[in-house]
Copies of this chain bind each other. A is one copy, B any other.
């Protein structure tokens, strides 16, 4: 909570993402990654098709893209079983699981404050002088 923590090591401001949580936000909160991680964390090791069913509305292309990215980032582990038919299982890694408390905090915050947000929107929309 320092006064100038948003400055980078070399003293210059980081253009674009002038805050220290930029990287982790890109990592965890980019599109589709949160539902995927959530599902993996909640339902344990799963096959590709199970994921596709649980993370509704995601197309196979995008699901694969995100899974590859998560695997590369070390948050998800992919296990290929050379059988017929082939079986691939995905599971969350220890590193991925370390995000669970964070997710829990997010859930807590939502439960406590999301209605306030909705209320604020209502008031904003109901104000004619804008």
A34 lies within 8 A of B25 (CB): yes
- Main secondary structure, interface of A, reads helix
- Name the B residues within 8 Å of A22 (CB-CB): 34-35
Copies in the complex: 2
A–B pairs, 24, beta carbons within 8 Å:
A3-B42, A6-B39, A13-B54, A15-B57, A16-B35, A16-B56, A18-B56, A19-B35, A19-B39, A21-B38, A21-B107, A23-B110, A24-B106, A24-B109, A25-B29, A25-B106, A71-B124, A72-B124, A74-B117, A74-B121, A95-B113, A99-B109, A101-B105, A102-B105
Closest 6 CB pairs of A and B: A74-B120, A19-B38, A29-B29, A15-B56, A72-B124, A21-B106
